[in-house]
């Protein structure tokens, strides 16, 4: 059977079972309003704390999932901090990143880092992304795809470094979506939005947690200002 | 997947005697039950969120036609394709056609229960396409030629030793003397084996935890990141999702996400929650060039408005099976098809027929733990009872069961006779067991007395005690009234 006749058949069956027609102004208005207004429901108290408490929760939550979180005084400190991190872990001084202006404008020349641009390749060890925002309630970073921060950076390399501005750390998911909507417009989304709450892990062997299943084994987050 | 639900009794007997399986099943409690309880304690709003989650799903189901239309409109707007599949067969044919039209030789898959339900792997392999499961648990059971035994932990029925043996059997190009004792060694071997598959695949197939009408997005939730590599690297991303996965907005998905991971693994949030909307955009250096969604009905619309309507709220967290004494005793394979545990006992008869799966809703003591932990407040025991009723009224239950129920119904309608009959067995047992104080065997209860003794009944029956207590209270009430006249 063709997909098109299936469509009519399925929608017809749904309407018959629900006892509706589909053209009721009341029902249509209700659904339209819900989508257009996207009302928020219950927001947990933990997501409504004051700023400093939210940043503490964001940090503690990510750390409890096995990520490392560091606070930088200035964004410009990042290249040196990243070089030091790679040296400390005895990893190649290579870094993959997109065309994010906030990352691009940092003083990379002062470090020996070999920087590659564009989508990640299987041979990349470390990548760097800029998160659009984060929800402190569960230590969840929001990364949006695009040439500035390609999504493969979030998954292919062994280590993923994410930078986030302190002012972009909000409490609940709903507020984070508000920020994404500010950038892309209501009802519009980037091709991929990755909500990331820690390094890759699995518990599929006897429920023992092992880090680095398919994605990055290490997640390092730098909090700076924009 | 082969249907073996009719053999639930035989499957269970074998499962109880399988020592390896019994050892593996201990991990259910260790891995899920305690962690969920802790996660729930950590969020004081949890119960209020449950009620809200239920409202979101009820509202969505009442307007399912409208939200599906809006969702479809948004997917098309973002450059994706939507295919409507009434049956499992339709869905298989659609996926196969997309693969063939694009000359696909190799497919990677994220974990998808809907793909299991429609038997997708078999259909693709029969047409010469290589299918690689990339979730570690799914990869392991694919190596073994088994189906999943749990909806979120497909290899929970296996021990580390078994997995090591499978890896050594299949990964023959690796040095045989390599160490594979620790879980971390097994994980890194699987990671290395699957990397090449991710990069070489033509098509990536994932399921969806949510479909969002507001934006036309599909959402997957994973811890490994395998679902993301599956959908990011190949030329084509196909989402297979049943149509009740839809929610109106990003806010609604977020509200239910607060319940999902906590109920499933006891995490506050899964490591990766990914929202995908259409194919690669202009200027994107990565992502699939084409994005397809296969919207599957396969019996869902039939449940709408029926006595099984509430089952459509299910978000597939697995909490019901993790907390089920029957699942914990026999594991998921005993249920004989894709969906095990209490949610499977409700869903399976709907999807493959009560003649095949009639045993499943009977495999419950109705202890109610499943519905007490269900984040969508699905009345699972009530729904299982509906299947029992239907099985009985369609004359599909065995004649012994029907005869016993008939005899009981006869007695239940005659209270005097019922009470007289019911006080007989304890009296007889009390008389017979006076000396020893216990029975090591009893007629019709051999299975029970095999593992424990039956104590000899003592004192009056419950009914007699109840009557005595009622008389005493009546007396007290009369006394009070006389002492305290109005």
Could you say which of A119, A204, A215 has the minimum Cβ distance to residue B136?
Answer: A204
Strand partners, B291: B237
pLDDT of residue B481: 77
From A82's Cα to the closest Cα of chain B, the distance in A is 23
pLDDT of residue B484: 66
Question: Is A25 in the B-facing interface, judged by CB distances under 8 Å?
Answer: no
Q: What is the pLDDT of residues B233-261, one digit of tens each?
A: 999 999 999 999 999 999 999 999 999 99
Strand partners, A127: A96, A160
Answer for the pair B203, B236: CB distance below 8 angstroms, yes or no.
Answer: yes
Quote the radius of gyration of chain B (alpha carbons, Å): 27
pLDDT of residue A157: 97
- In whole angstroms, give the CA distance from residue B261 to residue B421: 51
Mutate to test the interface with B, among A19, A40, A192, A198 (most CBs of B within 10 A): A192
pLDDT of residue B370: 98
DSSP assignment letter at B173: T
Confidence of residue A105 (pLDDT cuts 50, 70, 90): very high
CB within 8 Å: B301 and A14: yes
Residues 40-79 of A with CB under 8 A from B: 40-42, 44-46, 61, 65
Question: Is B126 in the A-facing interface, judged by CB distances under 8 Å?
Answer: no
Question: Is B89 in the A-facing interface, judged by CB distances under 8 Å?
Answer: no
Answer for the pair B41, B181: CB distance below 8 angstroms, yes or no.
Answer: no
- In whole angstroms, give the CA distance from residue A216 to residue A156: 7
Write out residues in chain B with pLDDT < 70, as ranges. 484-486
Positive/negative CA dihedral, B205, B210, B211, B212:
negative
CB within 8 Å: B275 and A193: yes
CB within 8 Å: B255 and A195: no
Torsion of CA B189, B193, B195, B198, to 10 degrees: -140
Answer for the pair B95, B240: CB distance below 8 angstroms, yes or no.
Answer: yes
From A207's Cα to the closest Cα of chain B, the distance in A is 5
Question: Is A127 in the B-facing interface, judged by CB distances under 8 Å?
Answer: no
The enclosing H or E element of B422 equals: helix B415-422
Residue of A nearest to B228 (CA): A155
Question: Which of A216, A127, A140, A153 is CA-nearest to residue A179?
Answer: A140
Please state, as a whole number, how many other Cβ atoms lie within 10 Å of the Cβ of residue B451.
Answer: 6
CB within 8 Å: B228 and A155: yes
pLDDT of residue B306: 96
A88 φψ region: left (φ > 0), alpha (ψ -120 to 50), beta (else)? alpha
Provide the token pair at B223: 């811890």
Residue A20 with chain B: CB contacts under 8 Å = 65
CB within 8 Å: A44 and B258: yes
- In whole angstroms, give the CA distance from residue B51 to residue A41: 11
What strand order describes the sheet that includes A192-196?
A169-170, A133-135, A140-144, A192-196, B272-276, B217-222, B210-212, B246-247
pLDDT of residue B8: 96
pLDDT of residue B270: 98
CB within 8 Å: A14 and B68: yes
A26 pLDDT exceeds 80? yes
Could you say which of A177, A191, A201 has the minimum Cβ distance to residue B254?
Answer: A177
Question: Is A92 in the B-facing interface, judged by CB distances under 8 Å?
Answer: no
What is the separation, in whole angstroms, between the first and last Cα of chain A? 55
Answer for the pair A146, A190: CB distance below 8 angstroms, yes or no.
Answer: yes
Residue of B nearest to A197 (CA): B271
pTM of the model: 0.93
Mutate to test the interface with A, among B109, B249, B265 (most CBs of A within 10 A): B249
Question: Is B146 in the A-facing interface, judged by CB distances under 8 Å?
Answer: no
- In whole angstroms, give the CA distance from residue B117 to residue B104: 22
- In whole angstroms, give the CA distance from residue A29 to residue A32: 5
Residue A146 with chain B: CB contacts under 8 Å = 281, 283-284
Question: Which of A94, A111, A73 is CA-nearest to residue A161?
Answer: A94
CB within 8 Å: B297 and A13: yes
């Amino acid at each position: 059977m063709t997909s098109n006749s299936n469509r009519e058949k399925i929608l017809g069956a749904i309407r018959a079972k629900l006892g509706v027609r589909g053209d009721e102004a009341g029902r249509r208005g209700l659904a339209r309003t819900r989508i257009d207004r996207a009302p928020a429901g219950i927001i947990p108290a933990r997501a409504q704390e004051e700023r400093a408490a939210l940043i503490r929760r964001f940090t503690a939550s990510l750390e409890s999932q096995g990520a490392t979180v560091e606070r930088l005084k200035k964004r410009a400190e990042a290249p040196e901090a990243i070089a030091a991190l790679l040296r400390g872990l005895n990893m190649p001084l290579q870094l993959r990143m997109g065309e994010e202006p906030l990352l691009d404008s940092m003083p990379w020349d002062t470090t020996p880092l070999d920087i590659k641009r564009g989508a990640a390749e299987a041979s990349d060890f470390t990548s760097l992304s800029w998160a659009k925002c984060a929800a402190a309630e569960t230590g969840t970073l929001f990364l949006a795809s695009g040439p500035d921060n390609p999504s493969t950076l979030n998954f292919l390399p062994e280590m993923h470094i994410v930078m986030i501005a302190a002012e972009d750390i909000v409490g609940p998911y709903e507020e984070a979506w508000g920020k994404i909507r500010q950038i892309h417009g209501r009802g519009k989304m980037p091709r991929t939005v990755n909500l990331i709450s820690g390094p890759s892990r699995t518990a599929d062997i006897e429920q023992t947690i092992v880090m680095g299943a398919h994605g990055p084994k290490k997640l390092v987050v730098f909090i700076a200002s924009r | 997947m082969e249907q073996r639900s009719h053999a639930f009794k035989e499957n269970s007997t074998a499962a109880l005697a399988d020592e390896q399986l019994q050892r593996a099943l201990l991990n259910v409690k260790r891995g899920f039950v305690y962690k969920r309880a802790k996660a729930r304690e950590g969020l004081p709003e949890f119960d209020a969120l449950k009620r809200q989650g239920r409202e979101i799903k009820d509202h969505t189901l009442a307007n399912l036609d409208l939200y599906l239309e809006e969702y479809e409109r948004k997917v098309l707007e973002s450059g994706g394709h939507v295919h409507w599949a009434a049956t499992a067969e339709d869905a298989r044919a659609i996926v196969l056609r997309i693969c063939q039209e694009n000359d696909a030789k190799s497919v990677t898959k994220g974990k998808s229960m809907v793909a299991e339900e429609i038997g997708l792997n078999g259909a693709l392999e029969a047409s010469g396409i290589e299918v690689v499961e990339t979730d570690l648990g799914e990869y392991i059971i694919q190596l073994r030629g088994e189906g999943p035994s749990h909806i979120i932990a497909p290899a929970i029925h296996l021990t580390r030793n078994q997995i090591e043996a499978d890896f050594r059997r299949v990964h023959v190009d690796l040095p045989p003397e390599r160490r594979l004792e620790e879980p971390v060694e097994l994980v890194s071997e699987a990671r290395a084996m699957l990397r090449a598959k991710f990069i070489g695949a033509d098509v990536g197939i994932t399921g969806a935890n949510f479909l969002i009408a507001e934006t036309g997005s599909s959402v997957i939730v994973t811890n490994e990141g395998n679902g993301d590599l599956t959908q990011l690297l190949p030329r084509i991303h196909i989402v297979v999702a049943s149509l009740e996965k839809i929610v109106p907005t990003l806010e609604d998905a977020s509200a239910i996400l607060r319940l999902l991971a906590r109920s499933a693994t006891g995490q506050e949030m899964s490591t990766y929650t990914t929202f995908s909307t259409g194919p690669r955009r202009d200027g994107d250096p990565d992502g699939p060039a084409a994005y397809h969604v296969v919207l599957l009905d396969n019996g869902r619309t039939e449940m709408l408005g029926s006595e099984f309507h509430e089952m459509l709220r299910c978000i597939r967290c697995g909490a019901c099976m993790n907390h089920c004494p029957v699942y914990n005793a026999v594991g998921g394979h005993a249920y004989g098809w894709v969906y095990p545990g209490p949610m499977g006992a409700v869903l399976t008869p709907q999807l493959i027929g009560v003649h095949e799966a009639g045993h499943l809703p009977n495999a419950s003591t109705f202890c109610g733990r499943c519905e007490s932990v269900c984040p969508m407040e699905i009345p699972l025991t009530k729904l299982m009872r509906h299947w029992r009723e239907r099985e009985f009224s369609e004359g599909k239950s065995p004649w012994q069961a029907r005869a016993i129920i008939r005899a009981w119904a006869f007695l239940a309608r005659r209270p005097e006779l019922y009470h007289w009959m019911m006080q007989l067995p304890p009296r007889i047992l009390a008389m017979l067991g006076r000396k020893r104080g216990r029975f090591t065997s009893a007629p019709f209860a051999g299975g029970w007395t095999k593992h424990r003794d039956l104590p000899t009944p003592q004192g009056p029956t419950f009914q007699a005690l109840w009557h005595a207590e009622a008389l005493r209270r009546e007396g007290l009430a009369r006394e009070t009234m006389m002492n305290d006249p109005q």
